[in-house]
């Protein structure tokens, strides 16, 4: 499972100037992250704006990322979709492209019982030979993974871990305790990356890593070296930056994309209903870049 250990940015949706998924810009973002030295990418998740894409667009996003990053880093495909059928189609596509693992949120919109959630994940897992990472993100899906369902899922050897985006770091501790050394637990909330690592997360997948990969790589090194005071202080600086990104008029992702654009990586803006940046955001983004560069 070593290939999953480290900093794994959630890959952003890369659009051309007309708002279509862009292969050229996917390549640019991939190259940027590769040069920063990240362990892998998580493609087509929340930060990939998957929820706003057609099935064909999602397939294209997975294809472009694989085409330009396969062999360079670990590739995780998020394939969760409203229907099991679409999720399976995405899973098969990702397997053909050579992804290292699949991942999926639980079913969304209708509140379904654990039996349906288990069936949904199991059917995705059975559709390909790939390993599977459960995605627990209660604040957006309304569904909370329990340790007992987690245990049941782990009976399937293809289930290698969980990306936990719930806020209590205790959830990370519980999942790690339940799965032990055979599973990999990913920290989801970037605001508590350091805490998550200390509570048992082996690695991190995050939506703000792309804006400041060097800072998360450094925080991870501090934790590995047992330099917890340094790690805590760096996390505090990171949190100032995340709060500034979340305080823009535009959506956080629009802000991150503007940061990237000013760093020479243009991946377009965001798709509605996410809001683009406003004119007032310009100066705030100047500040955010100073914060990132001075940390
Ligand atoms: C993804 O699926 O693309 C992200 O990795 C999800 C990730 O856990 C993010 N959570 C949400 O978007 C709700 C966080 O990285 C989040 O962006 C960050 O903690 C800032 O709030």
CB 49 less than 6 A from any atom of ligand 1: no
- The whole-number pLDDT of residue 13 equals 98
The CA radius of gyration of the chain, in Å to the nearest whole number, is: 18
CB 39 less than 6 A from any atom of ligand 1: no
In the block, residue with structure tokens 């535009």: 250
CB 106 less than 6 A from any atom of ligand 1: no
Q: Tell me: the pLDDT tens digits for 101-133?
A: 999 999 999 999 999 999 999 999 999 999 999
* Cα 33 to middle of ligand 1, angstroms: 17
Average pLDDT of adjacent 10-residue blocks, the chain of 295 residues: 96 98 98 98 98 98 98 98 98 98 97 97 98 97 96 97 97 97 96 98 98 98 98 98 98 98 97 97 96 95
- The whole-number pLDDT of residue 114 equals 96
- The whole-number pLDDT of residue 1 equals 85
* Cα 137 to middle of ligand 1, angstroms: 9
Distances (CA, A) of 67 to 27, 31, 33, 210: 8, 12, 15, 19
- Is 110 in a helix, a strand, or coil? coil
CB 165 less than 6 A from any atom of ligand 1: yes
Of ligand 1's atoms, which has the minimum distance to the CA of residue 78? 2
- The whole-number pLDDT of residue 174 equals 98
- The whole-number pLDDT of residue 152 equals 97
Among the listed residues 163, 176, 253, 257, the single catalytic one is 163
Q: Is 92 considered catalytic here? A: no
Q: Report the CATH fold assignment for 2-216.
A: TIM Barrel (3.20.20)
CB 200 less than 6 A from any atom of ligand 1: no
Q: Is 64 considered catalytic here? A: no
Q: How many helices (H) and strands (E) does the chain have?
A: 12, 8
The residue ranges of DSSP E strands in the chain, in sequence order, are 7-9, 40-43, 74-78, 101-104, 131-136, 159-164, 184-187, 203-206
- The whole-number pLDDT of residue 245 equals 98
């Amino acid at each position: 499972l070593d290939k999953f250990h480290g900093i794994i940015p959630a890959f952003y949706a890369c659009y051309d100037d007309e708002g279509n998924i862009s292969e050229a810009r996917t390549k640019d973002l991939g190259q940027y992250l590769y040069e920063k030295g990240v362990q892998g990418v998580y493609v087509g998740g929340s930060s990939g704006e998957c929820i706003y894409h057609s099935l064909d667009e999602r397939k294209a996003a997975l294809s472009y990322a694989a085409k330009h990053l396969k062999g360079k880093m670990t590739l995780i495909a998020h394939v969760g979709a409203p229907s099991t059928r679409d999720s399976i189609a995405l899973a098969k596509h990702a397997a053909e492209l050579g992804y290292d693992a699949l991942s999926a949120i639980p079913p969304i919109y209708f509140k379904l019982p654990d039996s349906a959630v288990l069936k949904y994940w199991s059917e995705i897992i059975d559709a390909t030979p790939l390993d599977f990472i459960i995605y627990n993100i209660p604040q957006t899906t309304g569904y909370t993974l329990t340790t007992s369902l987690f245990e049941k899922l782990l009976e399937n050897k293809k289930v290698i871990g969980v990306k936990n985006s719930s806020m209590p770091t205790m959830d990370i501790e519980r999942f790690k305790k339940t799965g032990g050394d055979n599973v990999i637990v990913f920290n989801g909330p970037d605001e508590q990356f350091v805490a998550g690592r200390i509570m048992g997360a082996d690695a991190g997948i995050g939506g703000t890593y792309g804006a400041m990969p060097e800072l998360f790589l450094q925080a991870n090194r501090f934790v590995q070296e047992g330099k917890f005071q340094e790690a805590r202080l760096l996390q505090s600086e990171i949190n100032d930056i995340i709060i500034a990104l979340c305080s823009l008029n535009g959506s956080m992702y629009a802000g991150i994309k503007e940061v990237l654009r000013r760093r020479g990586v243009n991946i377009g803006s965001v798709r509605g209903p996410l809001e683009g940046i406003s004119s007032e955001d310009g100066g705030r983004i100047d500040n955010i870049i100073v914060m990132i560069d001075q940390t």
